[in-house]
Structure 1
């Protein structure tokens, strides 16, 4: 069955409305999901371990006497590391090394300076005390997500990283546990769903409360993260995966088709877009898509994604391609062109930018080094990839000298009285020298 992919042309009068329709994604949460999640969170908040056990039995079909039985030991993580095939262990270790090396360069230090009055100003950078990492379980087991979420936290100096991962029917994924061992995760609980998010947010008798929850999950997990935000921090509410490729028409069409597949295979809502000034190349890629699709294990998912949400967009030149890309603000952006450095100057909004024909987005998912937790649904306009900075907080440092308190106290006094806040003004005025 041939896949017919939407064609857009930036020179058409209705291009703007067509693009808006293409990008529209309904992220509204079903009322029933909302109610269910709120009920679960309330139960976990008020009943702790007891509620966690009940929901774990209900949703994961695990019947245990206590939450302590869901607490995996470090010995069990090491056992998993030894149990996986050597090539997988080596690959995990190599990926972890690159992820750690990249994120160590993001580590921010405290700083101070002194002004002419001897007043000390600065910023104290402090890691979070405890971070929670949600990792999908069951069929969707992603050891790469463990590395990408846990390693920045450890580099930041987070005191304790708590990982939660569901194990439906008691099925444990050793690759995920091995990744936790390599990344230095401190504790692992085999709990999932909204109940795991609630346990991390509020704490139970056994599972400690954290300061921030990161990591991907299904609609119940995403809704729970949205609900507990404010009690704890969260990384983001992620939408479907996206890839946008800008190509000058000189890359092998099969390469580009497979790059588009690499995101389309995630789920039916994933979005794959190719922009090129070469109409014949767009035709060639569409032919490659139809040629290669039958060879894919997840062909049905890819077909739905490509039919419903993919697009081939023709532009007049690469500069116009960059403008269209900036409007889309994609999660992943491939610059499959002769001179990616030159085009990079025109890119303003993208979660991650993959430079040149040999830089497949898939490398970024696993082992390039930069984080694969990226803003989706156009949020790259104001958001950044997950990083060390997400696990650190900053406190302002202000230390006035007597001379500085005198000089700036006069300024504060005027402004405070202008706002009608007399106590503010007098507090500053007490420290002003009288002639």
Structure 2
């Protein structure tokens, strides 16, 4: 792992919006799905996933779900149930209620909060299938009250036309109402526009490859999306009291996601920097996903040495990482100084996988520095709000002239007259 000073490290990370060829491919796929529905969906599923399906085979059946339960270990079901309980408890605390406020003049103002009706969850295949991401997408939507939650995932996650049984069981336990064996940009387009077999949704969430990300960007506006997610990131802020073996293990826990993942240590201790660099190399030797993790460490990993912890905090805030671990002697002393981070893990025992799988907070967190202005997925992502205004006659007469003044200042006489006609006829 390269060791650099803060002044020599480029804190900017470019967002990958795909090549012109990738963008053109996605646009074509989206248009084909929009105009021909199942026909294009089945064609692309055969082309990209090697699964020769018919429309009646797109939806996962109850029999397949029952078979999936026979393939997974009871201990896995217990683990998923325990994690789901923690995640649900955390997100229950985020629920909002509609409210109304009666004014002295008889007017009534308020906000009506309703869940979205139908949400689509994308679950990737590829390098790894992630049951934990199913929980993190589905449970906040369920807590919000979304009645229809649809999952799409590539048929190849379980080989040929099958779906990974652990994904199916997790989806069933989480409360997914419909499941379809389609993936890639074509699945995103199907969720957005609908096909003969899949009804359109109001929002699409869930991670995917560059084609999925570009497709989400393409359909945004037709539906809502969670974000355009980039590769996973971890930053560890540490002082001389930190354990180098723990830090190395946590850096590698993100590096093994994919070759583009970013793992960075920020420390004011040169001795710790050297020890962590050595530990990373030692631990890499026995890591099953060594090739992926090594590419990540070599191309996107770094150890940044600062003069002081204060300078380190400045570096962290400029990086605005997805995951931030604070491994210093008194971590709580520094929480208030962190302005930009998706999730903050405090102390030696709050390893990032604790948040990924079990603690309860959502692990779908802003990447690529977007923690400067965005937040982890939560219940608010699955609700919509309507403002409510009831104005009494007394209130309109008291404020009518002011409203007309503002309307005429903007050159909108029609707005002013809509108020004036009431004042004239009721006055």
TM range, normalised to the smaller chain? over 0.9
Alignment of 1:391 with 2:382, yes or no, is yes
SS at match of 2:79: helix
| CA deviations over 1:286-311 (Å, ceiling 9, x no partner) | 11112211011111222121111111
CA contact (8 A) 2:69 2:169 kept: yes
Q: State the partner residue of 1:8.
A: 4
* Structure 2 gap segments, 5+ residues each: none
Seen in structure 2, the aligned counterparts of structure 1 residues 74 and 299 have a Cα distance that, compared at 3 Å, is same
Distance, in Å, in 2 between the alignment partners of 1:195 and 1:291 is: 42
CA contact (8 A) 2:15 2:368 kept: no
| CA deviations over 1:98-130 (Å, ceiling 9, x no partner) | 111111111111111122212111111111010
SS at match of 2:285: helix
CA contact (8 A) 1:78 1:181 kept: no
- Offset at 1:277? 1.3
Q: State the partner residue of 2:9.
A: 19
SS at match of 1:335: strand
Distance, in Å, in 2 between the alignment partners of 1:53 and 1:63 is: 7
Alignment of 1:59 with 2:48, yes or no, is yes
| CA deviations over 1:256-289 (Å, ceiling 9, x no partner) | 0000001111111111111111111111111111
| CA deviations over 1:343-365 (Å, ceiling 9, x no partner) | 00100110000011110001111
- Offset at 1:340? 1.7
CA contact (8 A) 1:319 1:343 kept: no
- Offset at 1:404? 1.0
Q: State the partner residue of 1:122.
A: 110
- Offset at 1:6? 2.6
- Offset at 1:333? 0.3
Matches within 5 A, 1:9-408: 9-10=5-6, 15=7, 18-20=8-10, 23-66=12-55, 68-168=56-156, 169-408=160-399
Distance, in Å, in 1 between the alignment partners of 2:399 and 2:82 is: 54
The worse-fitting range, judged by mean Cα deviation, of 162-171 and 377-386 is: 162-171
Q: How many residues align?
A: 423
Distance, in Å, in 2 between the alignment partners of 1:19 and 1:26 is: 17
| CA deviations over 1:399-423 (Å, ceiling 9, x no partner) | 1111111122221100001111111
The worse-fitting range, judged by mean Cα deviation, of 314-323 and 76-85 is: 76-85
Distance, in Å, in 2 between the alignment partners of 1:333 and 1:139 is: 24
- Offset at 1:387? 0.8
- Offset at 1:50? 1.2
The worse-fitting range, judged by mean Cα deviation, of 28-37 and 202-211 is: 28-37
Distance, in Å, in 2 between the alignment partners of 1:276 and 1:160 is: 47
Distance, in Å, in 2 between the alignment partners of 1:112 and 1:82 is: 50
User: Deviating runs (4+, > 6 A) in structure 1?
Assistant: none
- Offset at 1:390? 0.3
| CA deviations over 1:224-269 (Å, ceiling 9, x no partner) | 1010001000000011110000112212211100000011111111
| CA deviations over 1:117-163 (Å, ceiling 9, x no partner) | 12111111111010000001254211011000011111111120010
Distance, in Å, in 1 between the alignment partners of 2:259 and 2:54 is: 39
SS at match of 1:251: coil
Distance, in Å, in 2 between the alignment partners of 1:23 and 1:8 is: 15
CA contact (8 A) 2:322 2:341 kept: yes
Distance, in Å, in 1 between the alignment partners of 2:127 and 2:181 is: 15
SS at match of 1:395: strand
> TM-score normalized by structure 1?
0.94
CA contact (8 A) 2:203 2:224 kept: yes
